[in-house]
């Protein structure tokens, strides 16, 4: 057994994305205690930077100490009580995972299904909310990672408010790559991940809860089924039981060095500016799109609702073994792209341009490798 030294890869799949040296260096800084005053200061700065990224003033905005799936579960277990009715929009794998969370929390899931590769249909949502006045929550995926499609979060949140429902929004793939406007859109609870457009290693899940969501948590009748994800406990660590003294209650030992990485990644996003970051993702998407179309690829998702940071392309008929091509790209070019999931397995590739991976060099490398291997 020897120390592990992986061969560097160019990560252009659906996540994780390339991690800049600046963020890796931040992770190597000395570890301090999770209640050390220096670390408390860092926690507060992370919260502020996340509010910038989410475009919100929500005080309860922080990273859950686990990957994006834990952020999803945090939202569901805190806002759902047994017997509740939750409307869930499913247009890909991750909408389906929302349904799993609803049923495991003892609630009733009313599912709205849309074709994979299509956005959530607002008319279906409106009709379903009218038919189910007992519903308390509308849940949907903003940027569906399994297909690369973007849904209209602003319209869906407005519909939810009209019908007195809270919203739970999956922004795992959208945060930092396309606009996510929590306050402007009226999002009640939202979660994301670090390994996509923030270009931070996986392991943390930024979340934000608005006033209506917090009121629902405070009004719960039954205990939250998860001790670790119970916001009534966690918020005393991130906000302090007594905000005036800034004293924090021990809840868990935070992943200190992972927090260093998130802080650095958010600093880089702040320095670049949100609009500049969005424009960079779009510019590199257009360059990749043009090159892929020249190689004979077509896109699964129509341009009007296509994610620039996750390009889902239909595999050309001349490719008889798509898995072998991906293996060759990884072994001969140190280039990772993603396979299709579920019903799209073997039919599409998912090519990511997330965070630091959205660069001219990556676009050029990807197109060059595909041209060489496809002939």
- Across 171-315, the runs of DSSP E, i.e. the strands, are 189-191, 205-209, 298-299, 310-314
Lowest mean pLDDT segment, chosen from 33-42, 147-156, 187-196, 298-307 = 33-42
User: What's the mean pLDDT when you consider all of the chain?
Assistant: 96
Is the pLDDT reported for residue 240 higher than 80? no
| CA distance linking residue 19 with residue 357, whole number of Å | 8
Average pLDDT on 137-147 reads 98
Q: What's the full length of the chain, in residues?
A: 375
CATH number for the 10-15+274-374 domain, one of 3.90.1150.10, 3.20.20.370, 3.40.50.1100, 1.20.950.20?
3.90.1150.10
| CA distance linking residue 118 with residue 90, whole number of Å | 10
Is the pLDDT reported for residue 368 higher than 80? yes
Average pLDDT on 12-29 reads 98
Which pLDDT score, from 0 to 100, does residue 243 have?
A: 53
All CATH 3.90.1150.10 domain ranges of the chain, comma separated, are 10-15+274-374
| CA distance linking residue 324 with residue 256, whole number of Å | 39
Q: Summarize pLDDT for 168-220 with one digit per residue, the tens.
A: 999 999 999 999 999 999 999 999 999 999 999 999 999 999 999 999 999 99
* Long-range contacts at 233-240 (CB < 8 A, ≥ 24 apart): 234/64, 235/60, 238/43, 238/47, 238/60, 238/62, 239/59, 239/60
Is the pLDDT reported for residue 96 higher than 70? yes
Per-residue pLDDT band for 375 (boundaries 50, 70, 90) equals confident
Q: Summarize pLDDT for 110-134 with one digit per residue, the tens.
A: 999 999 999 999 999 999 999 999 9
All CATH 3.40.640.10 domain ranges of the chain, comma separated, are 21-269
From the CB of residue 292, how many other CB atoms can be counted at a distance below 10 Å? Answer: 20
Question: For 21-269, CATH number?
Answer: 3.40.640.10
């Amino acid at each position: 057994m020897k120390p592990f030294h992986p061969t560097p890869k160019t990560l252009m799949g659906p996540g994780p994305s390339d991690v800049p040296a600046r963020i890796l260096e931040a992770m190597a800084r000395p570890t301090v205690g999770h209640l050390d005053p220096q670390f408390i200061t860092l926690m507060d700065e992370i919260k502020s930077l996340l509010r910038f990224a989410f475009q919100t003033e929500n005080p309860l905005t922080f990273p859950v100490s686990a990957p994006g799936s834990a952020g999803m579960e945090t939202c569901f277990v805190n806002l759902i009580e047994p017997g509740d009715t939750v409307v869930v929009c499913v247009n890909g794998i991750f909408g389906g995972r929302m349904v799993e969370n609803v049923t495991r929390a003892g609630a009733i899931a009313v599912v709205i299904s849309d074709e994979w590769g299509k956005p959530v249909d607002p008319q279906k949502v409106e009709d379903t909310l009218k038919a189910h006045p007992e519903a308390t929550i509308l849940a949907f995926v903003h940027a569906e990672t399994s297909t690369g499609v973007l849904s209209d979060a602003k319209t869906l949140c407005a519909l939810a408010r009209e019908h007195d429902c809270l919203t739970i929004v999956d922004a795992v793939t959208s945060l930092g790559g396309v606009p996510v406007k929590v306050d402007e859109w009226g999002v009640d609870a939202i979660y994301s991940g670090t390994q996509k457009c923030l270009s931070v290693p996986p392991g943390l899940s930024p979340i934000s809860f608005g006033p209506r969501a917090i009121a629902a948590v405070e009004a719960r009748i039954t205990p939250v089924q998860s001790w670790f994800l119970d916001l009534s406990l966690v918020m005393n660590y991130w906000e302090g039981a007594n905000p005036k003294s800034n004293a924090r209650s021990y809840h868990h030992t935070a992943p200190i060095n992972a927090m260093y990485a998130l802080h650095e990644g958010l600093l880089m996003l702040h320095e670049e500016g949100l609009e500049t970051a969005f424009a960079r993702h779009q510019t590199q998407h257009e360059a990749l799109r043009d090159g892929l179309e020249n190689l004979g690829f077509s896109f699964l998702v129509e341009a009007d609702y296509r994610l620039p940071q996750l390009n889902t392309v239909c595999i050309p008929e001349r490719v008889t073994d798509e898995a072998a091509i991906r293996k060759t790209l990884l072994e001969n070019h140190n280039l990772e792209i993603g396979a299709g999931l579920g019903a799209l397995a073997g039919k599409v590739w998912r090519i990511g341009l997330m965070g630091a991976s959205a660069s001219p060099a990556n676009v050029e490398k990807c197109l060059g490798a595909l041209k060489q291997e496809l002939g």
